[in-house]
Amino acid sequence: MKRKKHLIIMELLLLASIIISCKDFLKIDPPVDQIDTEKVYSNDETAISAVRGLYVRLGTLGSFSFGGDYSLVTVAGRSADEFTDYSTAINYLQFTQNNLTPLNTNMRTNLWQHPYSVIYAANSIIENLERSNVTGSVKQQLTGEAKFVRSLCYFYLTNLFGNIPILLTTDYRLNAIATASTPDQVYQQIITDLTSAKELLSENYLSADRIRANKWAASALLARVYLYRKDWVNAERESSLVIARSSQYQLRPDLDQVFLKNSTEAILQLYVIGTPGNTYEGSYFILTAAPTTSNGVTISNQLLSAFQPGDLRSTKWVGTFTSGNTSYKFPYKYKVKTGATPVNEYLMVLRLAEQYLIRAEALINQDKVDEGVADLNIVRTRARATATIAIPQPLPNLADGMSKSNALLVVEQERRIELFAEWGHRWLDLKRTGRADAILKPLKGANWQTTDELYPIPATELINNPNLKPNPGY
């Protein structure tokens, strides 16, 4: 148990107030916008609006996925080795110092309750579509989208917390006492949902924007799930299906254009409503002043030193703000901080480069090392700078004949550089590959324990549902 002495009294006081004032999410009534279900599901257009609301929930302020403070990208980057944290706020520092407690309110609200609220909404849509008079093809598409969104939420919940309840109904009586399922069981549900979604979803986007899931978004997420399950054959198959869609998806040759709305690299994006700029990530990460003690982060020295000479990602995707004699490096994948009209950046959820990296890892683990290295070289080629006198061979191709163990280390490096400051990839990669102890213990010191790989089940959930158990170490 890592709770420090001076926190115990504070936690007991907080716990008492939480017991009195908080209701468990799993016991809440349906949201107001879902009460009149007969009206909502009386025709195609209103049913479509209900599903669009799922994506709004994912992109709304305070969600696990919106990209700002306390979202997955910022807290997981703190938990790993991506960011230097300037904050003195305890709820931030607990992530940075790997010293979380079950009473961290932002962890509970953003990372647990919000994804479960989206799951509840998805369950409501699936149940109501089943008994509605919505047109058959529309019903299929909307059901597929709801299953996709539910899968996305479960993917992050189980990766962050481990054993979690699988809720497939809106019946609060069942949900309130649901037992926790193992990650294997959660992944099986995710695979079941995504396999079904693939059959239900359209191959094409249903609007000019790539902001609603299609068949290939389901394949892309399935590829990631199979990778995490070490099912190399299926990870290769699903990623190959997406990569083969060259008429829809291509790597953007200019790194500055990867995260534009409707980028050819985008498999799925979110249109985030109510941001001060285009995305909360741009608003949060881009520095126009020195980082503050309230919630500021910069790119860590560990990440900066991982870039190789001649890698454009170190210049195109890393911004610099200088104050006096001090320069601060920040994630600069999104270029707009505030005030841009019209919106020209959407929050990236799934993109093609990840599929190449998934397939590379899957191939290498099947002893098809040279084929996997070829996929890595495709991603590296896009990031290669023009040769100069100072750097005559920028980011050269990886050579054939690499050993399997070395190739897997290169995969780790390429994922770190390509996917930094996106959806907590680095944090989840270190855990799934068993590399967290080796990488984070020397960096975090006495604060790091292996049990820190999972976040604690929030205290309110443990109090309200006797069938949930604390994670080890908390």
Q: How crowded is residue 288: how many other Cβ atoms within 10 Å of its Cβ?
A: 7
CA–CA dist 438, 292 (Å, integer): 31
Q: Work out the pLDDT band at 51, boundaries 50, 70, 90.
A: very high
Q: Work out the pLDDT band at 3, boundaries 50, 70, 90.
A: very low
Q: Would you mind telling me the total number of residues written for the chain in this entry?
A: 474
In degrees and rounded to multiples of 5, residue 99 shows phi and psi of -130, 40
Average of per-residue pLDDT across 5-23: 35
CA angle, corner 55, sides to 185 and 23, nearest 5?
Answer: 65
The label of the residue with tokens 């040279």 reads: 370
- Compute the half-sphere exposure of residue 306: CA atoms within 13 Å on the CB side of its CA: 23
Write the pLDDT tens digit of every residue in 94-121.
999 999 999 999 999 999 999 999 999 9
Average of per-residue pLDDT across 189-204: 98
3-state secondary structure string across the chain: CCCCHHHHHHHHHHHHHHHHHCCCHHHCCCCHHHCCHHHHCCCHHHHHHHHHHHHHHHHCCCCCCCCCCCCHHHHHHHHCCCEEECCCCHHHHHHHCCCCCCCCHHHHHHHHHHHHHHHHHHHHHHHHHHCCCCCHHHHHHHHHHHHHHHHHHHHHHHHHHCCEECCCCCCHHHHCCCCEECHHHHHHHHHHHHHHHHHHCCCCCCCCCCCCCCHHHHHHHHHHHHHHCCCHHHHHHHHHHHHCCCCCCCCCCCHHHCCECCCCCEEEEECCCCCCCCCHHHHHHCCCCCCCCCCCEEECHHHHCCCCCCECHHHHCEEEEEECCEEEEEECCCCCCCCCCCCCECEEEEEHHHHHHHHHHHHHHCCCHHHHHHHHHHHHHHCECCCCCCCCCCCCCCCCCCCHHHHHHHHHHHHHHHCCCCCCHHHHHHHHCCCHHHHHHHHHHHHCCHHHHCCCCCHHHHHHCCCCCCCCCC
Topology adopted by domain 5-276+345-464: 1.25.40
| The predicted structure's pLDDT at residue 338 | 85
Q: Name the burial class of residue 37, with classes exposed (0-12), middle (13-18) and buried (19+) by CB atoms within 10 angstroms of its CB.
A: middle
Give the chain's mean pLDDT. 91
Q: Name the burial class of residue 109, with classes exposed (0-12), middle (13-18) and buried (19+) by CB atoms within 10 angstroms of its CB.
A: middle
Q: Work out the pLDDT band at 296, boundaries 50, 70, 90.
A: confident
Average of per-residue pLDDT across 140-162: 98
In degrees and rounded to multiples of 5, residue 83 shows phi and psi of -120, 150
Average of per-residue pLDDT across 209-227: 98
Average of per-residue pLDDT across 59-87: 94
CA–CA dist 382, 272 (Å, integer): 28
CA–CA dist 41, 217 (Å, integer): 25
| The predicted structure's pLDDT at residue 36 | 60
CA–CA dist 448, 440 (Å, integer): 7
Average of per-residue pLDDT across 125-135: 94
C-alpha separations of 282 from 75, 334, 386, 455 in Å: 16, 5, 27, 26
- Residue of 38, 54, 214 lying closest to 134 (CA atoms): 38
> What percentage of residues in the chain have a pLDDT greater than 70?
92
Write the pLDDT tens digit of every residue in 230-268.
999 999 999 999 999 999 999 999 999 999 999 999 999
CA–CA dist 234, 267 (Å, integer): 19
Structure tokens at 255: 């790194």
Q: Name the burial class of residue 42, with classes exposed (0-12), middle (13-18) and buried (19+) by CB atoms within 10 angstroms of its CB.
A: middle
pTM over the 0.95 mark: no
